[in-house]
Structure 1
Amino acid sequence: MSTAAPKTPKLPVTVDKPTPYNFDLGLLLANDPNPVSVPRTTTASSDPSILESHLANVARDGAQVLINQLLTTCAITSTSSGVLLSLPHAQTPLPREKPVPAPKPETKWSAFAKRRGIKPKTREQRRNLQYDEATGEFGRKWGYQGANKAGQDDAIIEVKFNSKKEAERKEGTTVRGDKRREIREKVKRNERRMRKNQRHSEGRK
């Protein structure tokens, strides 16, 4: 003779409380103004599982009431993606964790771009990738193994005959280091422009 496991009783769908719940469906929030009546029996004080079970029942009632309110007051539509339930706008203001950021001062470049109607680059334009026809693959424009460093590690570098640049070359410099010096000079120039823009935005000269 087999003994079947006892079936779990179905919990009620309706919840009756002396004071009704307050809802903010935009935040999926249900406030229960009723005090939590914690069991005061000797068994409950000695067995923590009784208290946990009671609190779980209170939380279950709150979730059930919230679901009932959503299904009876919110618009439900059927789409190709499934059944959608439209939530109303939230009514409860939530405090910010951090203060509202102060607006950034206008730099010389931003003022110039506004006058000329220059728009910021899109995400695709800012990508550090470009197509290399020689290799048939996409590579970096700058940075590690960037296209702007092409030729730096070549074993042989061609120098134009009677080049004016070679005739005026400073003592101790080589053609191999020209590209590196050019890149470093561009970085320094950009840093100087950035500091100048910062002073201009702060009203300093």
Structure 2
Amino acid sequence: MTADSIRVAIVDDQELVRMGLRMMLDAQPDIEVVAEAPDGDAAIALAARREADVLLMDVRMPGTDGITATERITAEDDAPRVLVLTTFDLDEYAFAALRAGASGFLLKDARPPELLRAIRAVHAGDAALAPRVTARMIERFVEAPAPQQAVTDPRLASLTPREREILVAIGEGLTNDELASRFFLSISTVKTHISRLLQKLEARDRVQLVILAYTWGLVAR
């Protein structure tokens, strides 16, 4: 483990799942599995100890489930980031976990490179949303906006034209690299714009920016 290693905790009620994930993650030079938890209560306890940077969170577990655990964990200051793992791409529990504060959503059948990218992205403050379910996910828990909602919301009115363009692109699912390519910007400038969006829109993370873009009707469904 190096000083820059990403500390990961695996939360799943199936021991074999935890074992498989641990073997894969521990083989990475920049990732270390520092803890495991079989349920939400144990996850809350380990998160409170600040042992992990990222929690891989199952949603369907006995006792305290992943939704409740995610909500309680992310409500604390300096909390680890939560990446939800689920078997089903239309799992209502996973959607609820995102609303509760998770920074990402990934299916358990994701290939190892996709999972590794998601962990690194979430750790870096980005969002990780399974591409094939993002639009359906948003549609399931975001109500259609009133026609004037986006126009009258003072947070949206505070954005510059470029910030609004970037918000729309984030809602479309573009990564930082793709944003830089579309708008002919450097990565550092993209990150500056995103930081300003988070501040102006009072958003916790990129997931909330995506939700706002859909809520305000800025992205076609």
Shorter-chain TM band: under 0.3
Rg larger in 1 or in 2?
1
Between Structure 1 and Structure 2, the one with more helix by share is 2
TM-score (norm 1): 0.20
